[in-house]
Amino acid sequence: MQKSMTSSTDQTTFITTYIDEGEADLLSKSDARPGLVFLTGYESGRVFMFEDRQIMTGRSDECQIQILEPDVSRTHALFDISAEGVEVIDMRSRNGVYVNGERVQRAWLSDQDLIRVGAVMTFKLVFLNPSELKFQEDLFNAAVHDSLTKLFNKRYFLGVFDKRMTRVRQGSSRMSLLALDLDFFKKLNDSYGHPVGDKALRHVADLIGAESRDMDVVCRFGGEEFMVLLHDVDLEGAVQIAERIRASIESRPLVHQDREIPITTSIGAACSNEITGAPDKLISLADTRLYRAKKLGRNQVCSQSVAGQSPFIVVDSPSR
């Protein structure tokens, strides 16, 4: 603890501060750096810190901040960072750049200014020191992750899903989706209690994550259902990944009080090139195949909605 005193010819002022020596630097703004906080969309709360001198926003793959919205131009706005500060420049966009509600061609930005790109996408300029950045990142992580399993939550997953389906419709990528549901989970809960059921969900979440790639998105979709969004994978590849996940869960029972509790899962697999129209048809297709896997006996991967519809067969458990 420390006690400080300041004085002048007119008066003496005593200021008592209760700050540990190690915390004093956390209050300093001298190490603050500029960045943007997302205020709209599924990434609301995310922080993008400026690491380069120039940051481009727009629909193009070349943009550091890619915004896949129809009202956003391919190269929409440029953030120019220099010793003088941060300047935003409209790159001849169709729908404009707005600072605090006013359309601008270029403008110097101040801390807490609101920048709108196109009709909806809004950012806030911030200057954060390392402790403030960590606090903001912790808030964002809490908002997009399931508190029990630490996987992404349904809201964030659906945001990523919509964004990637936009790229699929543009013909620039493909993706597949796995829908997973634990078999007889209600029976496990009734037999061992909800705390063990929660432990089983965390156990399965870890196994799914271990069999997924960094570019894939794994989420707890609700209850005992999980979704895995597979980037640039066709249906055959999706079935192979799904089978690895299924086999991993079957071969690694949950250990509780020195007792092994077997867990199995049914999985439905679907690929973006199988659907036309609304993106949520892919989710419906994967769900349909998930419930067909259950109807066929559980503990298996299904990539057909009905018999003979697809060249890919139902993958049964090796132990069956």
Which domains does the chain possess? 33-138 (2.60.200.20), 145-302 (3.30.70.270)
CB 125 within 8 A of CB 86: yes
pLDDT at 256: 94
Distance in angstroms (rounded) separating the CA atoms of residues 115 and 136: 19
Say what the alpha-carbon torsion angle 55, 57, 59, 62 is, to the nearest 10 degrees.
0
pLDDT tens-digit series, residues 219-258? 999 999 999 999 999 999 999 999 999 999 999 999 999 9
Helical residues (DSSP H) of the chain, grouped into ranges: 130-144, 154-169, 185-192, 194-211, 235-251, 280-295
Give me the amino acid identity at 146.
D
Which pairs from 60-65 meet CB under 8 Å and 24+ separation? 61/172, 65/36
Q: Tell how strand 265-271 and strand 300-302 pair up.
A: parallel
Task: Indicate which residues carry an active-site annotation.
Answer: 224
Residue 19 falls in which region: left (phi positive, over 0), alpha (psi -120 to 50) or beta: beta
Q: Output the pLDDT for position 170.
A: 82
For CA atoms 204, 206, 207, 208, give the dihedral sign: positive
Residue-wise pLDDT for 295-309, tens only, equals 999 999 999 875 554
Spatial distance between the Cα atoms of 242 and 233, rounded to a whole number of angstroms: 12
CA distances (Å), origin 273, targets 138, 173, 239, 288: 37, 10, 15, 16
Tell me how far apart the alpha carbons of residues 320 and 318 are, in angstroms, rounded to a whole number. Answer: 6
Alpha helices, H only, 212-275? 235-251
- What whole-number distance in Å separates Cα of residue 74 and Cα of residue 24? 44
On the CB side of 54, CA atoms within 13 Å amount to 8
Question: CA-CA distances (angstroms) from residue 167 to 22, 33, 68, 163, 172?
Answer: 48, 32, 8, 7, 6
Q: Which SS3 state, helix, strand or coil, does residue 223 take? A: coil
| Residues of the chain with confidence (pLDDT) below 70 | 1-30, 306-320
pLDDT for 172 equals 72
Identity (one letter) of the amino acid at 283? I
pLDDT score, position 302: 98
| Model pTM score | 0.82
